[in-house]
Structure 1
Amino acid sequence: MKSLLQKHVSQLQLYIIWCSAIGMIFEHVCAVNLPNNESVPAVIVFGDSIVDSGNNNYIDTLIKCNFPPYGRDFGEGNHPTGRFSNGLVPSDIIAAKFGVKELLPAYLDPNLQIQELVSGVSFASGGAGYDPLTSEIVSVMSLSDQLNMFKEYIGKLNDAIGGNRTATIISKSVYIVCIGSDDIANTYAQTPFRQGLYDIQSYTDLMASEASNFLQELYGLGPRRIGVFNVPVIGCVPSQRTIGGGILRACSDFSNQVAILFNSKLSFQMDALQTKFSDARFVYLDSYNPFLDILQNPSKYGFEETDRGCCGTGNIEVGILCNPYSINTCSNSSNYIFWDSYHPTEKTYHVLSSLVLDHKIKDFF
């Protein structure tokens, strides 16, 4: 595993050097060459706050970030968009990598035009999880809700561009699922009710079963190129260090062990789905190990601060606690792995997306 990771790190470093030479690193994403001159008509995303590009702006929930300092480094406008970061999030970066577009809009944005819909959207909702209770607790859109919106999306495309073109877009687009961290860090770790019903084994079984059910329903609607991120090293985000890391704010071993267990089950489920649906591509995207390498070797990637976010003290601020009145917010977010106490900076998302995705893109085709 280590030698394989080192290989991918070397590839990333070469990639960054090349991108820097043409002035594109971080401000713009270098599109990756797709195999056999393939093209991707759209990128469509489901998930949680990591890939929510603003859907929570339009629902009645406290899980929002459509206020400063969020969006501080977002393009030239430097304005909050509902993305849980200082700038871009992985949904944007992935859409650019596949050569589709630089920003992946939120599906619920009332100003979306049909041409934006045709090339893809994010259905993700910050705070969502595989466990239906996770979304219910914070009043956000569950995976079931997101799937229903996708059905509505298909109907809109049918009406606008016709059934044949819609079917082609649906089957040839790339689908990304990024969810599960909130199940572990919030619903299970912080909810005695869930721990009373499930031990770690049975809870991760529940998560894996819900993941499989969602992916099978998604497949049934026509998608054939589906990538699923596993849960990252969630116990090492600043808020989990503060809550569960003791006086020294170490990584929460509990959350990390649950993540590792779930990830093994998710990988097994995806292998089973690949066998069952051989005409599709189910791509398992490991973010746990690359993110751990970034945290353990920050200087290799140009980071200085690893255990607190840029916003405020960086120990607990997230969402409404990270606001214009947060004191001591850092001046240079590029030194930080984390933007707030739960979400990475745009720079981290760029580095991590390349480490996780670039060598796996061929597997979608």
Structure 2
Amino acid sequence: MLLYVVKVILFCVYASVCLCSTEGKIILKKNVSVSAVLVFGDSFVDQGNNNYINTIGKGNFLPYGKDFLGGKPTGRFSNGKTLPDLLANALGVKDYLPASLDPLIKDKDLQTGVSFASGGSGFDPLTTSQTSAIPMSVQLDMFKQYIGKLKKIIEEEATNTIINNSVVVVVAGNNDLFLSLPIRRLQYDVPGYANMIVKLVLNFIQEIHTLGVRKIAVFSAPPIGCLPVLRTLGGGLHRRCADKENNAAQLFNNILRQQLKYWATSYPQSRVAVIDYYNPLISIIENPRRYGFDVVDKGCCGTGEIEVLYLCNELKSTCPDDSKYFFWDGFHLSERGNNIIIHHILQDLVNNLF
């Protein structure tokens, strides 16, 4: 047992990071020590958990996953790798991050992290009542069960070492702003709703901190109004970015950043950071050729204007070269889109957490 703990500690001390990909190589300013990557949230980071629950929000059919290992759909909402895969790889942990509910997951894979995320999830209970996704509160319960499994595999001391040296990523709130805010407008104005969701975020962060997590990266909301579906629904005849949705996302992000900064003052031994997910997407959307994209207002699947989930299926044609498309479907990024985003945020994430 002592030998195992020593191995874990040595791994954490000597792990170093660089991001190598078709987009070039990033040399980080700091060496970092990461034992595991643990992810919570929605479809941007769902690695296939929705395959195992009763929901229509699945991505376990072609053309989803057509560029993944062997061209096999896994439930990831993209043509290939997603943010959790690319981040785990960039942090030197492993090549692919599995879904927590995957029945084939091996004990050794559990020790380096999983995703608890569920497509359609959110902090507002109204959100998951609409989507039948796994609520964030249940994802927290799944994390507790995960800790229990680890303790059975490697005992308590080694488990605590892994959790303490893990990086936790939270990507949620997007479906709350997209799906539930319009319904809640009779109860809340936009600032009131944003404050309500941020309070739920803080409660969530407090819970995972209590369970031993010490490095937490919370992604801000993206420019929701620029997602292809939102352009179609709210961008007018010319499908411009929908200002109302983008303004709500920016307000939420400002409140989130302020409140998390205040929360962090009570826990100086921990590191929590808001990772800017908004401006990198805007930068790419406004300067597509700079990043090698031809199309940033449509997805690769079908017309690219509305298709998402079951509307994006084998019967729909796909674009001839998905590497030229920032979005894979009407809502989610292509693998190359995710890769570019990781290049934007990785140094900031490391600087803030280490």
Shorter-chain TM-score range:
over 0.9
Q: Does 1:141 align with 2:130?
A: no
In 2, are the aligned partners of 1:31 and 1:97 still within 8 Å (CA)? no
Counterpart position of 2:12: none
Counterpart position of 2:265: 275
Partner of 1:308: helix, strand, or coil? Answer: strand
Task: Name stretches of at least 5 consecutive residues in structure 1 with no aligned partner.
Answer: 1-14
Counterpart position of 1:6: none
Shift of 1:354: 1.4
Counterpart position of 2:222: 232
In 2, are the aligned partners of 1:31 and 1:99 still within 8 Å (CA)? no
| Distance (Å, rounded) in 2 between the aligned partners of 1:301 and 1:308 | 16
Q: Does 1:59 align with 2:86?
A: no
Counterpart position of 1:8: none
| Distance (Å, rounded) in 2 between the aligned partners of 1:256 and 1:119 | 35
In 2, are the aligned partners of 1:31 and 1:98 still within 8 Å (CA)? no
| Counterpart code for 2:67 | D
Q: 1:313 aligns with which of 280, 294, 303?
A: 303
Q: 1:25 aligns with which of 22, 27, 31?
A: 22
> Structure 1, residues 275-328: CA drift from partner, whole Å, max 9, x if none?
01111000110010111000000000000001111000001000000001114x
| Counterpart code for 1:280 | S
Partner of 1:62: helix, strand, or coil? Answer: coil
Q: 1:39 aligns with which of 10, 29, 33?
A: 33
Deviating 4+ runs (over 4 angstroms):
29-34
| Distance (Å, rounded) in 1 between the aligned partners of 2:32 and 2:277 | 25
Q: Does 1:263 align with 2:253?
A: yes
| Counterpart code for 2:327 | F
> Structure 1, residues 155-186: CA drift from partner, whole Å, max 9, x if none?
00011101100011011111000111111112
> Structure 1, residues 239-276: CA drift from partner, whole Å, max 9, x if none?
00010111111111110000000000100111011101
> Structure 1, residues 95-148: CA drift from partner, whole Å, max 9, x if none?
111100010000000011110000000000000112121112111101100000
| Distance (Å, rounded) in 1 between the aligned partners of 2:165 and 2:29 | 13
Shift of 1:331: 1.5
> Structure 1, residues 16-50: CA drift from partner, whole Å, max 9, x if none?
9xx4xxxx426xx9686573x54211000001000
Partner of 1:282: helix, strand, or coil? Answer: strand
In 2, are the aligned partners of 1:123 and 1:149 still within 8 Å (CA)? yes
1:141 to 1:307, Cα distance in 2 relative to 1, 3 A: same
> Structure 1, residues 65-119: CA drift from partner, whole Å, max 9, x if none?
10000001113x0111100000000011111111000100000000111100000
| Distance (Å, rounded) in 2 between the aligned partners of 1:162 and 1:33 | 33
In 2, are the aligned partners of 1:32 and 1:99 still within 8 Å (CA)? no
| Distance (Å, rounded) in 1 between the aligned partners of 2:26 and 2:92 | 5
Q: Does 1:335 align with 2:324?
A: yes
Counterpart position of 1:250: 240
Counterpart position of 1:162: 155
Counterpart position of 2:171: 178
In 2, are the aligned partners of 1:45 and 1:177 still within 8 Å (CA)? yes
| Distance (Å, rounded) in 1 between the aligned partners of 2:143 and 2:309 | 26
| Distance (Å, rounded) in 2 between the aligned partners of 1:176 and 1:280 | 14
Task: For 1:81-96, list aligned pairs within 5 A.
Answer: 81-96=74-89
| Distance (Å, rounded) in 2 between the aligned partners of 1:85 and 1:104 | 14
Q: Sequence identity of aligned pairs in percent?
A: 46
| Distance (Å, rounded) in 2 between the aligned partners of 1:358 and 1:325 | 40
Task: For 1:61-140, list aligned pairs within 5 A.
Answer: 61-75=55-69, 77-140=70-133
| Counterpart code for 1:287 | Y
Q: Calculate the TM-score normalised by the size of structure 1.
A: 0.89
In 2, are the aligned partners of 1:43 and 1:174 still within 8 Å (CA)? yes
Shift of 1:363: 2.1
Counterpart position of 1:12: none
| Distance (Å, rounded) in 2 between the aligned partners of 1:320 and 1:260 | 30
Counterpart position of 1:353: 342
1:31 to 1:107, Cα distance in 2 relative to 1, 3 A: farther
Partner of 1:197: helix, strand, or coil? Answer: coil
Task: Name stretches of at least 5 consecutive residues in structure 2 with no aligned partner.
Answer: 1-17
Shift of 1:217: 0.8
Q: 1:344 aligns with which of 333, 336, 348?
A: 333
Counterpart position of 2:3: none
Between Structure 1 and Structure 2, how many residues are aligned?
337
| Distance (Å, rounded) in 1 between the aligned partners of 2:236 and 2:202 | 35
In 2, are the aligned partners of 1:235 and 1:241 still within 8 Å (CA)? yes
In 2, are the aligned partners of 1:72 and 1:86 still within 8 Å (CA)? yes
Q: Calculate the TM-score normalised by the size of structure 2.
A: 0.92
In 2, are the aligned partners of 1:64 and 1:320 still within 8 Å (CA)? yes
In 1, are the aligned partners of 2:36 and 2:167 still within 8 Å (CA)? yes
